[in-house]
Amino acid sequence: MAVQLISPRSEDLHVVAGVRIGVAEAGIRKAGRKDLSVFLLDEGTNVAGVFTQNRFCAAPVQVCREHLAGGRNIRALVINTGNANAGTGADGLARARSVCATLARQLGVEPTQILPFSTGVIMEPLPVERIEAALPAALADVDPSHWLRAAEGIMTTDTLPKAYSRQIVVDGAMVTITGISKGAGMIRPNMATMLGFLATDACIAPTVLQAWAAELAEGSFNRITIDGDTSTNDSFVLMASNQAGNVEVTDADAPSAKALKQVLLDVARQLAQAIVRDGEGATKFITIHVGGGRTTAECRQVAYAIAHSPLVKTAFFASDPNLGRILAAVGYAGILDLDQTRIELFLDDVHVATSGGRHPAYREEAGQRVMRQSEITVRVELGRGQALDTVWTCDLSHDYVSINADYRS
Amino acid sequence: MAVQLISPRSEDLHVVAGVRIGVAEAGIRKAGRKDLSVFLLDEGTNVAGVFTQNRFCAAPVQVCREHLAGGRNIRALVINTGNANAGTGADGLARARSVCATLARQLGVEPTQILPFSTGVIMEPLPVERIEAALPAALADVDPSHWLRAAEGIMTTDTLPKAYSRQIVVDGAMVTITGISKGAGMIRPNMATMLGFLATDACIAPTVLQAWAAELAEGSFNRITIDGDTSTNDSFVLMASNQAGNVEVTDADAPSAKALKQVLLDVARQLAQAIVRDGEGATKFITIHVGGGRTTAECRQVAYAIAHSPLVKTAFFASDPNLGRILAAVGYAGILDLDQTRIELFLDDVHVATSGGRHPAYREEAGQRVMRQSEITVRVELGRGQALDTVWTCDLSHDYVSINADYRS
């Protein structure tokens, strides 16, 4: 039951020159599912990655970090669902490396030129034979137009595939950006989301690309939360195939570079917000703006306290304007010298609380009207400074409990 | 559906000399509920309090702090349910003070000798007239034996009253300790729980009493969590009526003092754990031990990350040994230099993970057996040091969502 999210149409997803995608059924967890995807990247593609800050990071995340640090051009991505290859120790690392080696052999490249990604159940051995056996089928399937197939191929508890595409003219050259993402639970990305892949044919210098990967993640995947659980496998990859014919972006502050980055950010945000809209059991899409803080970090801290409060989330689910719960979350967010008499609270255009108490003109019917909507904006003003930040989240419903109580069955 | 918790019997709750309790129906939120309780304390009683660290603390909490700091002997407590008097600004403070003034007049004491407590819905005006009108009925009801009535009188979403009582001989004198608590949601106490009242007739010097109040809260109410929501109204009060005839406790390190403190801690823990057992929708009582940390604080941090993870909590609800979710929570708990290859995980006596991966001898049937129990102990060893800490929590069920989606209806 995704919130205001529709399945993308394949014809709306622009091909990115230099990027081909193939999908296959490896039978990793269940039969009959396209659970294996491969991205092939033309020579000359630059790749930057941002990965989970979870200290229990998965084997493929460790291998990705190694391979990106190794300095060889990345030529392929291999992604499986059904098994996260996390909490699997040294054996898990060996299995992730084995998949890279097998694919590298078939492509005639080095294993360090492959990035592996896994998502699914934690602490179970990766069925590496089944993955390796299905690689030829995935390679036989490759085509530049297969973005939607890949968006479907990386789904786990997602109810809809997530993909988005835009074009922009940069220095007279038409640049294409297309991306996919997945994730619906264990979502509180810290440096990246479950899985997000964004490719452009723009020509972007590697140093700019890496800096942008981090900035894009910060402004999109790192501003969403469903259940506060930072995954072991969060990965966000930005690929630039350098085939659009634009002048290489080397100065991130140039006007054309900024315009390009804004469109990249738009695509990343659409993909990140799609994850929230498809959050496990989600019935509401909530935007939380916190302003008037001394620092962006403290605004974010307050926004996440609200976004993670089970009481706030269940009130949204119930369309119940029990908005004191939001004030309580502001109060325990960890700002030690917060002055409650300066707090203002708005729900969309309704001024709910002023100077730390109920606004005299606030009427429950007005709060009720907003709470019934499927998209709601909460705005908190802290009255301490000029900083602000935004986080996107969803409500907590019966279906969240059902989905996660039954995940493995 | 409380977990291994039964209603206390009045005859098991020892009278505390110097403490009398009365209960009445004020009709604060719903008619026909005993929603107003008064504790009367004999002259000579020392009182210490520990209150919420939520920066959005309720008006009664602010008044309690003032009155305890004022240095006058506290002679009465007045507690209402149905309305938290939080998020109510200056008007809320005036209403809390009005209740104190009215009760003080009836008792012939000063308003600063009264401590007010409120619990219930946030951001609605306290119906002070109804409370004041019911005070005479509460005073007419006072009796030293009314502990169970008070435990019932302070309930909100609790399904059972919570009370516990013990006796101990201190320096040849029989000392009695009786306490009550309430709370089932918005429970992640920070300095104290929703409401906990603990009285003893022991003779304890005020400085020791205040130190002990903080220590008892730390070792009991500050180690529980249901939903991670720190309330605006958390209050824990320790009262010593000084009537037991023991030599005044002035040296907290004396053996008899330590023995007394241990029994006080036992009572506080029973009351705190009762809140978890009666947690909203709880079907499992979970003890989380984290050992091998460098500091107690980091062990607590990891324990709370596990205790707050909706994914871990729903797995417990489902009796599903999806234990990788626990490893994921350990990984995102915030220990930046955590070495995942040193992590050990046990579920009761079952060794689940070793060196950061699945234990070779672990079988899912063994995990399944433990997960089906109503009481479960999770033990995580971090392999970094000697510190340890413990947190108690419950699972996350459909009923939690139902209760909090319907709380005000």
B70-108: per-residue pLDDT in tens? Answer: 988 999 999 999 999 998 999 999 999 999 999 999 999
Q: Is B315's CB within 8 Å of A398's CB?
A: no
- Domain boundaries, position B385: 285-405
Residue B4 lies in a domain: no
Q: Is B356's CB within 8 Å of A311's CB?
A: no
Q: What CA–CA distance (Å, rounded) separates B272 from B249?
A: 25
Domain of A237, CATH number, reads: 3.60.70.12
pLDDT of B406 above 90:
no
Residue B31 lies in a domain: yes
User: What pairing do the DSSP bridges indicate for beta strands A350-354 and A357-358?
Assistant: antiparallel
Asked if B65 and B210 sit in the same domain, the reply is yes
pLDDT at B166: 92
Answer yes or no: is the ipTM higher than 0.90: no
pLDDT at A1: 61
Mutate one of B118, B122, B156, B284 to test the A interface: name it (highest A CB count within 10 A).
B122
Q: Does B355 touch chain A (CB under 8 A)?
A: yes
Poorest-pLDDT segment among A64-73, A227-236, A269-278: A227-236
B1: pLDDT confidence band, cut at 50, 70 and 90?
low
Q: Does B393 touch chain A (CB under 8 A)?
A: no
Contact B53, B35 (CB under 8 A): no
In B, minimum Cα distance to A307 occurs at B229
Stretch A399-404: mean pLDDT, rounded?
A: 86
Asked if A294 and A376 sit in the same domain, the reply is yes
Asked if B351 and B393 sit in the same domain, the reply is yes
Q: Does A325 touch chain B (CB under 8 A)?
A: yes
Asked if A399 and A293 sit in the same domain, the reply is yes
Residue A145 lies in a domain: yes
Tell me chain B's radius of gyration from C-alpha atoms.
Answer: 22
Poorest-pLDDT segment among A99-103, A374-378, B333-337: B333-337
Q: Is A322's CB within 8 Å of B227's CB?
A: no
| CB-based contacts of A94, cutoff 8 Å, min separation 6 | none
Distance of residue A293 Cα from the nearest chain B Cα, in angstroms: 15
In A, minimum Cα distance to B190 occurs at A332
Q: Is B337 exposed, middle or buried (0-12, 13-18, 19+ CB in 10 A)?
A: exposed
pLDDT at B407: 59
Asked if A111 and A161 sit in the same domain, the reply is yes
Q: Which residue of A331, A336, A405 is in closest CB contact with B314?
A: A405
> What are the angstrom distances between the C-alpha of B301 and each of A59, A111, A155, B214, B218?
25, 39, 32, 19, 14
Short-list A76, A95, A81, A75, CA closest to A24: A81
From chain B, the residues in CB contact with A84 under 8 A are 324
Stretch B252-268: mean pLDDT, rounded?
A: 93
Short-list A350, A352, A330, CA closest to A340: A330
Q: Is B328's CB within 8 Å of A355's CB?
A: no
Distance of residue B263 Cα from the nearest chain A Cα, in angstroms: 31
Asked if B269 and B306 sit in the same domain, the reply is no
| CB-based contacts of B237, cutoff 8 Å, min separation 6 | B47, B48, B49, B77, B115, B196, B197, B198, B213
pLDDT at B408: 59
pLDDT at B297: 94
Stretch A202-225: mean pLDDT, rounded?
A: 91
Mean pLDDT of chain B: 92
Mutate one of B29, B51, B57, B123 to test the A interface: name it (highest A CB count within 10 A).
B123
Q: What CA–CA distance (Å, rounded) separates A381 from A299?
A: 9
Residue A214 lies in a domain: yes
Asked if B57 and B195 sit in the same domain, the reply is yes
Q: What percent of chain B has pLDDT over 90?
A: 75
Q: Bigger pLDDT: A282 or A407? A: A282
User: % helix / strand / coil in chain A, to the nearest 5?
Assistant: 35, 25, 40
In B, minimum Cα distance to A228 occurs at B309
Considering B245, B277, B309, which residue would you say is the last residue of a domain?
A: B277
Report A:331-350 residues touching B (Cβ under 8 A). 331-333, 335-336, 338, 340-341, 343
Count how many domains chain B has. 2
Q: What percent of chain A has pLDDT over 90?
A: 75
Asked if A95 and A182 sit in the same domain, the reply is yes
Distance of residue A93 Cα from the nearest chain B Cα, in angstroms: 11
pLDDT at B4: 83
- Written in H, E and C, the secondary structure of B66-82 is HHHHCCCCCCEEEEECC
Mutate one of A56, A93, A118, A368 to test the B interface: name it (highest B CB count within 10 A).
A56
Q: Does B92 touch chain A (CB under 8 A)?
A: yes
Q: Which residue of A125, A357, A397 is in closest CB contact with B92?
A: A357
A374: pLDDT confidence band, cut at 50, 70 and 90?
very high
Distance of residue B30 Cα from the nearest chain A Cα, in angstroms: 17
pLDDT of B257 above 70:
yes
3-class secondary structure, A264: helix
pLDDT at B190: 59
- DSSP symbol at A146: T
pLDDT at A189: 67
Residue A264 lies in a domain: yes
Residue B5 lies in a domain: no
The token duo for B360 is 């070779």
Q: Which residue of B87, B89, B228 is in closest CB contact with A324?
A: B87
Residue B150 lies in a domain: yes
Q: Is B55's CB within 8 Å of A331's CB?
A: yes
Domain of A339, CATH number, reads: 3.10.20.340
Alpha helix stretches (DSSP H) within B141-219: 147-153, 206-219
Stretch A350-358: mean pLDDT, rounded?
A: 93
Asked if B77 and B140 sit in the same domain, the reply is yes
User: What pairing do the DSSP bridges indicate for beta strands A350-354 and B46-51?
Assistant: unpaired
Residues facing residue A80 across a β-bridge: A36, A118
pLDDT at A308: 92
B189: pLDDT confidence band, cut at 50, 70 and 90?
low
pLDDT of A40 above 70:
yes
pLDDT at B192: 44
Distance of residue B146 Cα from the nearest chain A Cα, in angstroms: 32
pLDDT at B234: 84
pLDDT of B191 above 50:
no
Considering A277, A304, A325, which residue would you say is the last residue of a domain?
A: A277
Q: Is A331's CB within 8 Å of B407's CB?
A: no
Report B:358-377 residues touching A (Cβ under 8 A). 358
B42: pLDDT confidence band, cut at 50, 70 and 90?
very high
Q: Does A193 touch chain B (CB under 8 A)?
A: no
Short-list A107, A101, A121, CA closest to A58: A121
For B340-374, the pLDDT digits (tens) are: 999 999 999 999 999 989 999 999 999 999 999 99
Mutate one of A122, A156, A191, A347 to test the B interface: name it (highest B CB count within 10 A).
A122
Residue B1 lies in a domain: no
Q: Does A318 touch chain B (CB under 8 A)?
A: yes
Q: Which residue of B123, B338, B397 is in closest CB contact with A323?
A: B123
Asked if A250 and A272 sit in the same domain, the reply is yes
Q: What CA–CA distance (Å, rounded) separates B91 from A261?
A: 50
Q: Which residue of A55, A336, A405 is in closest CB contact with B320?
A: A405
Q: Does B409 touch chain A (CB under 8 A)?
A: yes
Q: Does B120 touch chain A (CB under 8 A)?
A: no
Q: Is B322's CB within 8 Å of A84's CB?
A: no
pLDDT of A292 above 90:
yes
Q: Confirm whether B354 is a catalytic residue.
A: no
Contact A50, A191 (CB under 8 A): yes
For B390-404, the pLDDT digits (tens) are: 999 999 999 888 888
pLDDT at A192: 45
- Which residue is catalytic, options A52, A193, A287, A393? A193
A408: pLDDT confidence band, cut at 50, 70 and 90?
low
Using the structure block, give the residue that is written with the tokens 């919420």.
B52
- Which residue is catalytic, options B119, B193, B230, B232? B193
Considering A253, A277, A301, which residue would you say is the last residue of a domain?
A: A277
Q: Kindly give the interhelix angle for A89-107 and A128-140, rounded to the nearest 10 degrees.
A: 30
For A113-131, the pLDDT digits (tens) are: 999 999 988 889 999 999 9
From chain A, the residues in CB contact with B314 under 8 A are 400-401, 404-405
Asked if B338 and B246 sit in the same domain, the reply is no
Asked if A73 and A208 sit in the same domain, the reply is yes
